[in-house]
Amino acid sequence: MKKKMPAKDTKEFDQRFDKGEDIHDLIDMSKATIMRTRKKVRITIDIAETLVNEIDEIRQTIVAETLVNEIDEIRQTIGVDRGALIKIWLHERVKQEKGAA
């Protein structure tokens, strides 16, 4: 098997990748690292009992499986997982609330 010529620069590498060329031979995976630039934060929310009761009423009227299916349809459309979609919705709501203030 003929060894591939290495890319001269990142631009050529990107072009070869974009054309669909198998670039695995051009990458030294032993030096690969995962970079996590953002710290995860867990949020705990205390909710008033009246709100919990309202949520329970809503939950009883919604069939959970139907809701999950609807969420899955939306997340597949934009190409994210359920958790990411919910984070997107929370972010949008926070922006909306900030704009209304």
Can you give the pLDDT at residue 73? 92
d(CA 49, CA 92): 26
In a domain, 39, yes or no: no
Can you give the pLDDT at residue 91? 92
Q: Tell me the pLDDT of the chain averaged across its residues.
A: 82
Can you give the pLDDT at residue 1? 52
Instruction: Tell me the helices (H) and strands (E) count for the chain, helix number first.
Output: 4, 0
The better pLDDT of the pair 38, 84 is held by: 84
Can you give the pLDDT at residue 92? 92
Question: pLDDT tens across 89-101, in order?
Answer: 999 999 999 887 6
In a domain, 67, yes or no: yes
Q: Print the domain residue range for 64.
A: 49-100
d(CA 52, CA 86): 19
In a domain, 64, yes or no: yes
Does 2 score more than 70 pLDDT?
A: no
